[in-house]
Amino acid sequence: MEEIKNKQLNDLATMPNPINQESAHSQNDGHDHGQQDTETNGVLAHWDLILALLMLATELILEFGFNYKLSNPIGFTVNSIAYLLAGRSVLNLAFRKARRGDIFNEFVLMSVATLGAFYIGEYSEGVAVMVFYQIGEWFQDSAVSRAKRNIKALLDIRPDEVTVLRNGVDQIVTPSQVSLGETIQVKPGERVALDGILVSQNASFNTAALTGESKPDTKYKDEPILAGMINLNTVAQIKVSSLFKDSKLSKILEMVQDATARKSQTQLFISRFAKVYTPIVFFLALALVALPYFFVEGYVFRDWLYRGLVFLVISCPCALVVSIPLGYFGGIGLASRNGILFKGGNFLDVMTKVNAVVMDKTGTLTKGVFKVQQVVAQSISEQELVRITAALEKNSTHPVGKAVVEYAGEDLGTLTASEVEEIAGHGLKGKVDGKQVLAGNLKLLKKFDISYPPEIEQIVYTIVVIAIDNRYAGYITIADEIKEDAAATIKAMHDLNIKTIMLSGDKQSVVDAVAKQIGIDAAYGDLLPEGKVEKVQSLKDQGLQIAFAGDGVNDAPVVALADVGIAMGGLGSDATIETADVVIQNDQPSKIVSAIKVGKITRNIVWQNIILAMAVKIIVLALGAGGVANLWEAVIADVGVALLAILNAVRIQKISL
């Protein structure tokens, strides 16, 4: 094996590269499993191990099949060759580590156990321990590499080339060579390489790589298109809005690559446990050999040394230290395949403890696709009110503002706003055609001491109130649509005994109407960003473990405050996505429930592995100390439980949510 093992299970991005083991071993708690190049995991790369296995098998067949045992000099020579073929890399690492003062690790442990077997004349058993230990390592390395390749293949879907239209001519270039504002062409069956805006009238896309949903999604002119989508039915032209390195897909890949660097509490515990556990079992094995001399009549050094060697072999913490990180890696992969990005294994753990989910309304529980329902003007025509409001709202990214601009359409003309200022939680202020204009909620007018008809406070729908030159000028009502899976999501959370709360900047009447329709436990409206923060803090003070889901820029502070911050990534702002711990790529609230399930599945499998490994080791340690288990049984138990734990961890990636 190549200077065996890895930097950690964590470097998805660097998987194909050889790792410098000197640094690797110092930071992986004495047990490093390989992230070797795919080719080095092939059969030919392990010719020495296979040859050692064949030599061992031949010797055992001669001894037990034909009752022929090699004479001592020949047996020692043959077994020594087989031993060095299988274990020279382990011996090398054991020597290098011991020279640095690091003697409590699996390499020293295996070397001492196998050399001890040779010392007492159990040559074939010493070879068997090293051969099967290395076979176990090989399978474990392969399992880790395969899991990483599966995740990487799932996510690294950026095309290597793209067709860009320059001076009316199609040019094929790499995506990184395309500039902002250029137009790319995507043929049916091709994958979109860069984020942009659809120039064509319409086109259908498969968005499964980004959202986990395979059903076609039809996009229309001027709608956003994301890298990673697959064009299904017609040639589509897309105006590039993000550079290759800034595309949402590139950020998703970075998130997943970074995710494995953040260890869960269970991983951290096992790492600390391994550092304490290994020296303890080392000294216990030593005590098992030495102490009976003082208490046991007829003490035979060879017999007690053999028991100590068995004790050393079975004590190797392979199954725990490898399968647990792999389990969390599998959980991150399962979530990614379902359109959910966890930014670290630690958040998988925290997600299992959540007992209250707090959600923003607009863009999280509702579609955030607003339509103007009614325009009521005072001392100005409705058309002029819409034009002036749209000129100001054109500077906003809020869905409400976009609805007004869309409603104004061509009537907006060339009218523009200047000196635009966004007042968080209130609305916009600016100048339009020389007039001072305010457009926002009722709190905005109250802030500037502008009176308005009191009856408009009774309007249930979302409302944009407008003031021109410090005088009330009218209002525009806008309706949002509740997401199809919102009610089912709330029910599923209740089934999991999770409290549901909705926070919104919208007025309380609107919030209450939505809450009643979907069955949410509690709803609070009229909240500024700091009001949301205060509300979440008060819930945390009650001892609740909070997950907050939101999508707007003003949700970023509360996303950061929550125990788990969840960003609705499709419509979500970059600030919220950057701040969040979990990103839902397709904006479906039901994915929040899926994220909780992934966390629980991962936790269950990780603890199954912990219990399995510890139970088997304790039993065989006891049998070995009592002289019942031999080296063969010890190595089979060690390698067997490690492989079972690995297979159990890999199983996560095949689970359907």
Residues 6 or more apart whose Cβ sits within 8 Å of residue 621:
281, 311, 314, 315
Residue 341 bridge partners (DSSP): 583
Report which of 410, 497, 412, 510 is spatially closest to residue 460, judged by C-alpha positions.
510
Separation in Å, CA 461 to CA 484, 506, 509 = 19, 9, 8
Residues labelled as active-site residues: 360
* Cα 383 to Cα 151: distance, rounded to the nearest angstrom: 54
* Cα 545 to Cα 148: distance, rounded to the nearest angstrom: 31
Report which of 457, 459, 467, 460 is spatially closest to residue 427, judged by C-alpha positions.
467
In 519-649, DSSP assigns E strands to 522-524, 546-550, 564-568, 582-584
Separation in Å, CA 209 to CA 53, 101, 248, 253 = 43, 48, 12, 11
Question: Which H or E element spans position 499?
Answer: strand 499-503
Residues 6 or more apart whose Cβ sits within 8 Å of residue 103:
97, 282
Show the tokens assigned to 343: 């930014």
Strand pairing report for 522-524 and 216-220: unpaired
Q: What residue type is assigned to position 214 of the chain?
A: S
Residue 376 bridge partners (DSSP): 475
* Cα 321 to Cα 323: distance, rounded to the nearest angstrom: 6
Show the tokens assigned to 311: 């004790």
CB contact at 8 A, 11 and 260: yes
Q: What residue type is assigned to position 77 of the chain?
A: T
Other C-beta atoms lying within 10 Å of the C-beta of residue 57: 11
* Cα 216 to Cα 213: distance, rounded to the nearest angstrom: 8
* Cα 655 to Cα 657: distance, rounded to the nearest angstrom: 7
CB contact at 8 A, 178 and 227: no
